[in-house]
Copies of this chain bind each other. A is one copy, B any other.
Amino acid sequence: MSEPHVIESQSIEQRRRRVAELTERLASSGHRLTPQRLFILEALVADTSHPTAEELFARVRQTCPTTSLATVYKTLETLRQMGEVLELEFSDGSNHYDALRPAAHPHVICEQCGRIEDVEVDGISRLQAHAMQASGYQLQSHRIEFYGLCQSCQ
Contacts and interface: CB of A to CB of B under 8 A. Distances in A.
Given A90-B91, A91-B89, A139 B146 contact: yes
A51 B25 CA distance: 39
A147 B89 CA distance: 14
Query: In the complex, which of the residues A89, A135, A142, A151 has the most CB atoms of chain B within 10 Å of its own CB atom?
Result: A135
Contacts of A28: none
A27 interface: no
A67 B131 CA distance: 38
A110 B108 CA distance: 24
A143 B143 contact: yes
A116 to B, nearest CB: 11
